[in-house]
Amino acid sequence: MNQEELNNKLAEIKDKLIAIEQPVDNKIWFTCEAENSYEINKFLFEEVPLRFVIATGIDSDDCFEVLYHYAYDETGCMVTLKAFIRDREKPEIESIAPFLPGAEWIEREIHDILGIDFRNHPDMRRLILSDDWPEGVYPLRKDAKKPVSWPDGEPSSRPTVDSPSRRTVPLSKPVLVVGPFHPLQEEMEFFQLTIDGEIVTDIDMRISYNHRGIEKISESLQFDQVPFLVSRICGICSASHPLAYVQAVEELAGIKPPERALYVRTIINELERIHSHVLWAGLAGHFIGYDTVFMWAWKYREPVLDLLEEITGNRNNYGNVKVGGCREDIPNELKPKILKDMDEIEKKMDMLIKAVTDDPILHARLKGVGVLSKEDAIKYAVTGPTARASGIAIDVRQDDPYAVYADLDWNVISQPEGDVFAKVVVRLLEVIEAIKIIRQAVKKIPEGPIAVEVKEIPAGEAVGCVEAPRGETFHYVRSDGGNRPVRHKVRAPSFVNVPSFKASCIGQHIADVTITLAAVDPCYSCTERLAVVDQYSNIIHDYDTLLRLSRERTAQIKKELGAPGLKMEDLQIG
């Protein structure tokens, strides 16, 4: 379906809409009243069909808005449906979660921060606010006031133990508790795995135990200060988030950065992809007892971090991208070193890929484990390697090209199986593609400035998307013509990838759950605190026990196959 055919298809819902706008070629904005939103959303997701990205809740003073963002990857078009909720006293809208599980979390989040009720939502417990947050206080409303500190005793407005807003499930069965706290996490995640013997029968997840208020803080910063804030959403994605933000602002303002700046952005983002994927491969090896992979993978990424430091001054949180271009250039004298380092990294990655993909123990240990089917991947709106490993070949760099990706020769890597092994293969092969992209960009980078002057940001709204290592990073920005955003919505890839555990973990062995969770790279550290509590026998297993179970399963497979597995000498080069 091309763009014209898409427009014809969308004409079928024209009578349900208030307006249709197309400010740029690859963006379509619909507006409707809340009572028509369910029917339109169902049409967009099931009939067109479009890929659900995320929703944004907004307090517009005189009403509330819920923006549903969809991507039509075949055309590179972003379609946004804006639904107006006129009743401020009792704001409500029909939930789309019953037919689109990927919307469950974002509707819960919007309810938490704005107090919008989603009728017929399957689970309206709190997601990002703490259990003792007072009822009726919604932090992103324009008239929100700071809650009064709790006095002694139990305030009547505080959720009770049996309140439906409580974040935990009753311990009526043995439960494996994962999380929630570790300082390396992008968002603090908490899992309760209901178990029957050694098999997981249900899973409950919560996030935001260390909520940092990024979106609220952004409203208090000037447009050129926000990139430094969003680079700290995730250390390993500290190029992706600022780039998605500035691309949204640049589209809003009609700004076109210099060509050299686009090449610099591309190189830095691909170096970050190598850094992230190789780091993940090392941690994955650690989870299953292949510490050889752990040690050598982390050694291989060191030259990448050194290059990022030479270009930007930092190994993480680079702070290089800004509205209108880049802050630091890539010196021409550094180009030979980048090319040489890419040659060396490629040799090491070729060896690592061959060692991993030829190992019969890894095949037996990872294939068929934690399968996320293509159908479930679509329903949960997953993205990045998680989607591509389930046969969904989506990639923002190709579907809606930014920077200079459209001018370079590279391939989108996908695998159909949807299991942990497929996710390993996708990430390792993507490292090779990233090296190809960097080589071409370094050789083709033109001379010229790296930034243009930006005088003001006009009123309007726009979205920016970047293919981060973990998947599509999404930023929505609204301006009223002042020097600060009046709404800034951020969606990291993990926000849509993590809920897919409902589909991939249930029915798995406990020893396989840790690698299934790790396989989507969900921004929580391998040193996360874990515990299993059985209220009947008071048996407790800590993280070390669960790690041991995973490694013992690998050892058992190794023994059954009579194979030695990966050794240190297999990975040494030079």
Choose among 277, 210, 205, 273: nearest CA to 238: 273
Task: Spell out where 25-173 has E strands.
Answer: 27-33, 51-59, 64-72, 77-85, 92-94, 117-119
Choose among 66, 110, 44: nearest CA to 381: 44
The pLDDT, as a whole number, for residue 540 is 41
Query: Phi and psi at residue 326, in whole multiples of 5°?
Result: -130, 160
The pLDDT, as a whole number, for residue 316 is 81
- Residue 401 to residues 36, 72, 73, 265, 408: CA-CA distances in angstroms? 32, 13, 11, 13, 11
Choose among 108, 40, 87: nearest CA to 68: 40
What separation, in Å, do the N-terminal and C-terminal C-alpha atoms of the chain show?
A: 51
Place of tokens 């370094």: 442
Q: Is 414 helix (H, G, I), strand (E, B) or coil?
A: coil
Angle at 520 between CA 368 and CA 193, to 5 degrees: 75
Q: 331: cis peptide before it, omega within 30°?
A: no
Cα dihedral 42, 47, 52, 56 sign: negative
Place of tokens 């780039």: 243
The pLDDT, as a whole number, for residue 531 is 34
Note whether 180 and 206 are within 8 A (CB): yes
Tens digits of per-residue pLDDT, 530-546? 333 333 333 344 455 65
Note whether 450 and 260 are within 8 A (CB): yes
Q: List where CATH 1.10.645.10 sits in the chain.
A: 214-492
Note whether 128 and 525 are within 8 A (CB): no
CATH number of the domain at 214-492, out of 1.10.1760.20, 1.10.645.10, 1.20.1560.10, 3.30.70.3340? 1.10.645.10
pLDDT tens for the chain, 574 residues long, are 566 777 788 888 889 999 999 988 889 999 999 999 999 999 999 999 999 999 999 999 899 999 999 999 988 999 999 999 999 999 999 999 999 999 999 999 999 999 999 999 999 988 888 777 888 889 899 888 766 555 444 555 555 555 555 555 555 567 777 666 543 334 566 778 888 888 889 888 877 766 678 888 999 999 999 999 999 888 788 899 999 999 999 999 999 999 999 999 999 999 999 999 999 888 888 777 778 888 888 888 899 999 999 999 888 888 899 999 999 999 999 999 999 999 999 999 998 888 888 888 888 888 999 999 999 999 999 999 999 999 999 999 999 999 999 999 999 999 999 999 999 999 999 999 999 999 999 999 999 999 999 989 999 999 999 999 999 999 999 999 999 999 999 998 988 998 999 999 999 888 888 788 888 887 643 223 233 333 333 334 445 565 666 677 777 776 766 655 555 445 444 3
354 strand-pairing partners: none
325 strand-pairing partners: 322, 451
Q: 98: cis peptide before it, omega within 30°?
A: no
The pLDDT, as a whole number, for residue 525 is 34
Q: List where CATH 3.30.460.80 sits in the chain.
A: 3-129+132-166
Tens digits of per-residue pLDDT, 107-127? 999 999 999 999 999 999 888
- CATH number of the structural domain 3-129+132-166: 3.30.460.80
Helix axes 420-444 and 510-519, enclosed angle (nearest 10): 20
Residue 540 in tokens? 């407790």
Residue 59 in tokens? 């307090």
Q: Is 287 helix (H, G, I), strand (E, B) or coil?
A: helix
Note whether 312 and 320 are within 8 A (CB): yes
The pLDDT, as a whole number, for residue 10 is 80
Residue 381 in tokens? 């709106």
